[in-house]
Structure 1
């Protein structure tokens, strides 16, 4: 992005797109665990408001690409780690992760009940010869 004084100021959407592309790049981009530039520093460098960079980082966090850790910064998340399970995850992904875990537990219990019912019915039904 051009950070000269006469260049048009990038929008949050454009900043997010730049980092999205760099995170997705197989080489030369950001890797899991890499820290993105501090929002205040990047805002100054690009000549935009701090809220513009924070909004861009928020978009990336909501997409599950980065984690924000209070006082530490914004980091590229490891895609092999389930969404919503690490500190700094998007609250929406954390809630979704908890809901999926609850559904998984309910399905497991239902499966166990079905197995028991099949055993009971199998023991009561006379076998054809």
Structure 2
């Protein structure tokens, strides 16, 4: 991004897109810390809220996590969404719901297997 005084100021969407590219091409790999929002805002000549909005977009997409007082970090894709500190509250809620659904499906599978065994033993076999 061009940070010269005459260059147009990037929007939050543009900042998020550039960071998304840098995450995709491993400029920022898993667990890498992104620049501090204040420093990046100053470098780009934009308001702090603009960078914070870009970081919020990336967090809501599940690409980064933010930790109060520590900064923003690229999320490790091998860690389930919503389980790490600083992940989006929406992903944390979704992760919890998915765990409940997974356990319910496992229980239903066990029940179906028991029912199939019962039916198999009770059904007379034809010659």
TM-score, length of structure 1 as denominator length: 0.92
Partner residue in 2 for 1:14: 14
Q: CA RMSD in A?
A: 1.1
Query: Which whole-Å deviations, capped at 9, do the CAs of 1:3-45 have from their partners, x for residues lacking one?
Result: 122221110011101111111115xx11111100000111111
Count residues in correspondence. 127
Runs of 4+ in 1 over 6 A off after TM superposition: none
Uncovered stretches (5+) of structure 1, i.e. residues with no partner: none
Q: Which residue of 2 aligns with 1:70?
A: 68
**Match of residue 24 from structure 1:** 24
1:55 is aligned to 53
Match of 2:41 in 1: 43
